[in-house]
Amino acid sequence: MDIHPRESSRAEAESTPRWRQRMEQIDSQVDVIRLPDVDGDAPDQDREFCELITLDGEKKTVRFHDYDEVYKVPGFYEGLFYELLQCSSPSRVAALLDDVLEDFEDSSEELRVLDVGAGNGIVGDEFLARGVERIVGVDIIPEARQAADRDRPDVYDDYVVTDLTNLPERHEESLRKQNFNCLATVAALGFGDIPPKAFLKALDLLVTPSWLAFNIKETFLETGSDGTGFSDLVKHLNRDGVIQIQAYRRYCHRVNVAGEPLHYVAVVARKLRDIPDELMEFWSQRGEE
Ligand SMILES: C[S@@+](CC[C@H](N)C(=O)[O-])C[C@H]1O[C@@H](n2cnc3c(N)ncnc32)[C@H](O)[C@@H]1O
């Protein structure tokens, strides 16, 4: 299947997804994205790849999860995951948070958002559209910040390239000072991306009370079939009253290379108390096993 993102129709209405409106401003360097023919079972999500041909004629095979490679080419991330594979997660997660905020009579304009696994800023852009007070991106690779600066320079008040599993003191100090009251993490948990220990550290950086809005592959929250630890972590946080889940919705995050739906859950929760030291210690040790 070929796709030519430059030929996609212009944003026409208010309902046009935010990422597509933004594509009008991105100088896409993508000519063709070609998915492999799938004969039999689709490959594991972590092993999916495609062929990219850029406008200057360069041709290469890129594994989807090699984000450094993906972000380097303007328009590639959007063309692959959003246009071709119909990813809907940033708007889904943000809309679920909207619903809950409405019930609580809270305003998104008072949110100070920490966007973890921020990538090139598509999630940040959803929050920008909601008029949040402040939004700061965190990602582990410099290519993500470079892509956000290049493609969505107006989104973040700050963008920190750091590792939350081993957060340097200077980053911890500067992040804590910002009194974040909302953690967003979309399409970034599991798969060798953000591990439970890093998610917990992000949660710890928030004031109490705060909001959490995240998504995760549904099997990563199922007891027994989860190798990532997130199912245990979320249960642990709930049981100890650190978080209270307010909304939980299963939906199609995107399709895979064979066109089959990949189901994720969007979760909105409230951080109700500071994370006890024993819990931090437990997950810190477990993360090193
Ligand atoms: C699929 S992208 C999602 C980007 C963005 N949230 C979105 O929905 O478009 C996953 C991002 O998580 C980042 N990531 C992976 N491990 C991370 C970690 N330990 N800490 C922070 N970011 C991480 C990757 O570099 C990548 O940019």
pLDDT band at 14 (very low <50, low <70, confident <90, very high): low
CATH number at residue 106: 3.40.50.150
Q: Which atom of ligand 1 is nearest to the CA of 138?
A: 21
Domain region containing 150: 89-287
**Is there a single domain that holds both residue 94 and residue 207?**
yes
Interatomic CA distance for residues 92 and 164, integer angstroms: 25
Quote the tokens at residue 57: 């004629």
Confirm whether pTM is higher than 0.85. yes
pLDDT band of 10, cuts 50, 70, 90: very low
- The count of other CB atoms within 10 Å of the CB of residue 177 is 8
Q: 16 and 142 share a domain? A: no
Calpha distance 70→85 (Å, rounded): 15
Domain boundary among 53, 68, 84: 84
- Nearest Cα neighbor of 52 from 42, 41, 60, 64 is 60
Contact 172, 164 (CB under 8 A): no
The answer to whether residue 34 scores a pLDDT higher than 90 is yes
- The two structure tokens encoding residue 5: 């993102």
Q: Find out whether the beta carbon of 137 lies less than 6 Å from any atom of ligand 1.
A: no
Q: Are 139 and 192 in the same domain?
A: yes
Q: Are residues 231 and 122 in the same domain?
A: yes
Same domain, 150 and 257: yes
Asked whether residue 113 falls in the same domain as residue 243, the answer is yes
Q: Are residues 27 and 119 in the same domain?
A: no
- Using a 10 angstrom Cβ sphere, with 0-12 exposed, 13-18 middle and 19 or more buried, the burial of residue 40 is exposed
CA of 137 to the centre of ligand 1 (A): 10
Model pLDDT, residue 15: 79
Specify whether 40 is located in the same domain as 120: no
Residues 236 and 265 in one domain: yes
What is the tens place of the pLDDT at every residue in 191-219? 878 999 999 999 999 999 999 999 999 98
Provide the pLDDT confidence category of residue 284 given band limits of 50, 70 and 90.
confident
Assess whether 216 and 270 both reside in one domain. yes
Q: Round to whole Å and give the CA distance between 178 and 183.
A: 12
Q: Tell me, using a 6 A CB cutoff, whether residue 67 lines ligand 1.
A: yes
Number of domains in the chain: 2
Domain-ending residue, one of 84, 115, 141? 84
What does the alpha-carbon distance between residue 281 and residue 2 come to, in Å, rounded to a whole number?
49
Q: Are strands 182-185 and 112-116 parallel, antiparallel or unpaired?
A: parallel
Show the tokens assigned to 269: 């929760």
Q: Are residues 222 and 129 in the same domain?
A: yes
- Tell me the C-alpha distance between 3 and 6, whole Å: 9
Give the residue, out of 194, 197, 215, 217, with the most ligand 1 atoms within 8 A of its beta carbon, to mutate for a pocket test: 194
